[in-house]
């Protein structure tokens, strides 16, 4: 029987802060780098999880949740940011507070050439669309970064993206 993977402590800290901030909806597509967070959300009876067919659906769901008095977070891979470009204009034009956690591909140790262009473009695309972008490279910076992002998004009505780098979440084999 294979050994169970060890989940770094920062995942639990991030999830705890999401819940303390009042997150009740998590929208995502399956992703190995975000899996511990997604599993926590799925196991939490106080959180509704929505598995998206495409990432841009999550933008609309998170904005709709805000209009309905709920807090939501979008969790996607960097390749999915490209799918959301047009939908992200909703956030800027309507001034929605927004938090997206992005597991990065196309950087350190990437073995799939198709991931590299969007991995390189992700930070700039998000910045052009008005997001405040933070890059998490080390485990010890993730939890305070997410805590600060939650305050910035929902107290200051800002769009914030946390990029979880491949150095942090690990290089994918494929």
Q: How far is the C-alpha of 119 from the C-alpha of 121, rounded, in Å?
A: 6
| Prediction pTM value | 0.94
What does the block give as tokens for 173?
């084999």
pLDDT of residue 5: 62
pLDDT of residue 61: 98
pLDDT of residue 174: 67
Query: Which of 78, 65, 73 has the alpha carbon at shortest distance from 38?
Result: 73
Per run of 10 residues, the mean pLDDT along the chain (length 174 residues) is: 69 97 97 95 98 97 98 97 96 96 92 90 97 97 97 96 94 75
pLDDT of residue 2: 55
Q: How far is the C-alpha of 73 from the C-alpha of 62, rounded, in Å?
A: 7
> At CA 125, angle to CA 111 and CA 72, rounded to 5?
95
What does the block give as tokens for 131?
């997001």
Structural domains of the chain ordered from first start: 9-169 (3.40.50.970)
What is the dihedral sign for C-alpha 127, 18, 103, 148? positive
Query: How many Cβ atoms are within 10 Å of 41's Cβ, its own excluded?
Result: 25
pLDDT of residue 171: 83
3-class SS string, 25-79:
EEEECCCHHHHHHHHHHHHCCCCEEEECCCHHHHHHHHHHHHHCCCEEEEEEEHH
CA 100 to chain centre: 4
């Amino acid at each position: 029987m294979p050994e169970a993977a060890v989940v770094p402590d920062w995942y639990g800290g991030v999830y705890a802060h999401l819940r303390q901030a009042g997150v009740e909806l998590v929208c995502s597509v399956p992703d190995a780098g975000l899996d511990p967070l997604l599993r926590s959300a799925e196991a939490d009876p106080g959180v509704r999880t929505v598995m998206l067919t495409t990432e841009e659906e999550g933008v609309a769901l998170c904005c709709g949740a805000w209009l309905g008095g709920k807090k939501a977070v979008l969790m996607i891979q960097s390749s999915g940011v490209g799918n959301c470009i047009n939908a992200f204009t909703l956030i800027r034009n309507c001034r929605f507070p927004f938090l997206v956690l992005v597991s990065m591909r196309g950087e350190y140790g990437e073995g799939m050439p198709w991931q590299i262009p969007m991995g390189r473009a992700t930070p700039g695309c998000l910045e052009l669309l008005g997001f405040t972008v933070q890059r998490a490279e080390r485990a010890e910076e993730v939890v305070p970064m997410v805590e600060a992002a939650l305050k910035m998004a929902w107290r200051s009505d800002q769009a914030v993206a946390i990029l979880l780098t491949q150095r942090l979440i690990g290089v994918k084999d494929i």
